[in-house]
Amino acid sequence: MSEKKLLRKRIEASKQLNDLMRDYFYRMDRVSKGEEEGKIAWCTSVGPAELLSAFGFQIHYPENHGAMLGSTRLAMEYIPVANAMGYSPEICSYLTSDVGSYLKGETPLSKAYPGIESVPRPDVLAYNTNQCRDVREWLEYYAKEFDVPVVGINPPHGMAEVLPGHIDDVVQQLKDLIPTLEKASGETFDIDRFRESMRLSRECSELWGDVLGLAQNVPSPWTFFDGCIHMGPAVCLRATQEPIDYYRALKEELEQRVADGVAAVEGEHLRIYWEGMPIWGKLRALSEQFSELNACVVVSTYCNSWIFSAFDETRPFESMAQAYTELFINRSEPHKQTHMERMVREYKVDGIVFHDAKTCPNNSNSRYGMPQRLEEELGIPTLVIDADLNDLRMYSEETTRTNIEAFIEQLEENK
Ligand code: SF4
């Protein structure tokens, strides 16, 4: 085995993860082809999945498809196709890669899962602009293409505190979705099914929070880069039983690593916070570089975005409104800073890497003085990487590698 391979410790539960995701994609494909009964909804990644699930929809997440396009680097073939039809290179590169792949009639699913020729055809589309405006534009485009209804939530933005008035507004918006969803699914709304979806999502979210929290241990049993791969079920299969079973198994394995003192990064010496989106096409290269430098990226705001602590099946509408409105991405700058300071302390972080994703200002938090304020408050160094989630035209391998090396040296001196 080469030295490089040793840098990435295999997580045994990965096999179970692969099976789970394979079954998810094939199930949707069968429904889409009419080989199995059901309907398909497309949903944004922090959209009202539990409500859709209560109507029995199988749910496709275009952002998950966007991440696949990024990690396979096919995004680079498809982004220009969307650019050519008027979608700016400066808007979300998940959107442009996904729309480009649709226009070309191609998907990485075909290679990963033989027999799947396209993403599933939607019966309805549902967004939540809690994260950004782009998701609305994205789903409205497909609503026209497929001639199906699109529904959405437009919550207030940038709050220091989420107040009862904000929740009431979003609850009403959620309830307003019901008639369209009843029509698209052919099913009548059932509050008990909705409660059950919320219960399942809550359990999934709690377990996902638990496994992420295991990285607070020194040494950490896994890394942010592992989390980016293992988050699939928390995003795509929440509101079902499958991710609950999966995260129980993953938790057990990682707890064993902690008990045995097994480090994800051999000789872990530095602990890093990754702020912002992953750079999907460079996940492996970055993971290996940090490992070579004995630095473990232990925490991120990104992976933590699918912990919905407020979910409560006894108050399904209110708690759903709360959870999807109080997300980190949707909050004021001071709130974000307080959150990050807490994470730095809890995960014993030595330095913070901010990814300034050029096509996602919404999830890039280095633009209003946050790195400088955190350096001052916490006395730890920060680094800003200029790059993008999917568009590698905005990424310089050489500059990034050099900057990371220099940053790690600075952290060593600071320690
Ligand atoms: S939050 Fe950023 S990456 Fe996600 S859909 Fe919006 S613009 Fe794209």
pLDDT at 1: 37
Please check whether residues 221 and 356 belong to one and the same domain. Answer: yes
CA of 174 to the centre of ligand 1 (A): 21
Q: Which of 135, 356, 388 to mutate to test the pocket of ligand 1 (most atoms within 8 A of CB)?
A: 135
Check if 131 has its Cβ closer than 6 Å to any atom of ligand 1: yes
With 80 as the cut, is the pLDDT of residue 4 above it? no
Please check whether residues 211 and 184 belong to one and the same domain. Answer: no
Residue 7's pLDDT band, with cuts at 50, 70 and 90, is low
Q: pLDDT tens for residues 236-258? A: 999 999 999 999 999 999 999 99
Q: Is 52 a domain residue?
A: yes
With 50 as the cut, is the pLDDT of residue 219 above it? yes
Please check whether residues 122 and 271 belong to one and the same domain. Answer: no
Measured from the Cα of 91, ligand 1's closest atom is 7
Residue 415's pLDDT band, with cuts at 50, 70 and 90, is confident
Query: Whole-angstrom Cα distance, residue 304 to residue 346?
Result: 14
> What are the Cα distances from residue 102, in Å, to 65, 121, 224, 291?
11, 11, 30, 36
Please check whether residues 347 and 269 belong to one and the same domain. Answer: yes
Measured from the Cα of 359, ligand 1's closest atom is 7
Q: Tokens standing for 191?
A: 């509050």
Check if 63 has its Cβ closer than 6 Å to any atom of ligand 1: yes
CA of 389 to the centre of ligand 1 (A): 9
Predicted model pTM: 0.96
The average pLDDT across 24-31 equals: 98
190, 221, 243: which is the final residue of a domain? 190
Please check whether residues 287 and 305 belong to one and the same domain. Answer: yes
Q: Is 4 a domain residue?
A: no
Q: Is 9 a domain residue?
A: no
139, 162, 190: which is the final residue of a domain? 190
Check if 135 has its Cβ closer than 6 Å to any atom of ligand 1: yes
Q: How many domains does the chain have?
A: 2
Please check whether residues 209 and 322 belong to one and the same domain. Answer: yes
Contact 351, 381 (CB under 8 A): yes
Radius of gyration in angstroms for the set of CA atoms belonging to the chain, rounded to a whole number = 21
CA of 79 to the centre of ligand 1 (A): 15
With 50 as the cut, is the pLDDT of residue 275 above it? yes
Please check whether residues 233 and 361 belong to one and the same domain. Answer: yes
Please check whether residues 120 and 18 belong to one and the same domain. Answer: yes
Q: List beta partners, residue 331.
A: 159
Q: Is 408 a domain residue?
A: yes
CA of 129 to the centre of ligand 1 (A): 10
| H-assigned helices in 1-92 | 3-6, 14-32, 49-54, 62-71, 75-84
CA of 307 to the centre of ligand 1 (A): 18
With 60 as the cut, is the pLDDT of residue 5 above it? no
CA of 346 to the centre of ligand 1 (A): 27
Mean pLDDT taken over the chain: 97
Check if 94 has its Cβ closer than 6 Å to any atom of ligand 1: yes
Please check whether residues 153 and 199 belong to one and the same domain. Answer: no
As a whole-number percent, the residues of the chain with pLDDT over 90 amount to 97
Angle of helix 134-146 relative to helix 62-71, nearest 10 degrees? Answer: 100
Residue 98's pLDDT band, with cuts at 50, 70 and 90, is very high
Q: pLDDT tens for residues 328-380? A: 999 999 999 999 999 999 999 999 999 999 999 999 999 999 999 999 999 99
Q: Is 252 a domain residue?
A: yes
Q: Is 368 a domain residue?
A: yes
Contact 212, 253 (CB under 8 A): no
CATH number of the CATH domain containing 142: 3.40.50.11890
Please check whether residues 157 and 120 belong to one and the same domain. Answer: yes
With 60 as the cut, is the pLDDT of residue 123 above it? yes
Measured from the Cα of 94, ligand 1's closest atom is 8
Q: pLDDT tens for residues 127-146? A: 999 999 999 999 999 999 99
CA of 95 to the centre of ligand 1 (A): 8
Q: Is 7 a domain residue?
A: no
Q: What single DSSP character describes residue 331?
A: B
Check if 254 has its Cβ closer than 6 Å to any atom of ligand 1: no
Q: pLDDT tens for residues 38-86? A: 999 999 999 999 999 999 999 999 999 999 999 999 999 999 999 999 9
Check if 92 has its Cβ closer than 6 Å to any atom of ligand 1: yes
The residue contributing the CA closest to ligand 1 atom 8 is 92
Please check whether residues 179 and 221 belong to one and the same domain. Answer: no
pLDDT at 94: 98
Q: pLDDT tens for residues 171-197? A: 999 999 999 999 999 999 999 999 999
CA of 73 to the centre of ligand 1 (A): 17
Please check whether residues 98 and 206 belong to one and the same domain. Answer: no
Structural domain of residue 211, as residue ranges? 195-414
Residue 9's pLDDT band, with cuts at 50, 70 and 90, is confident
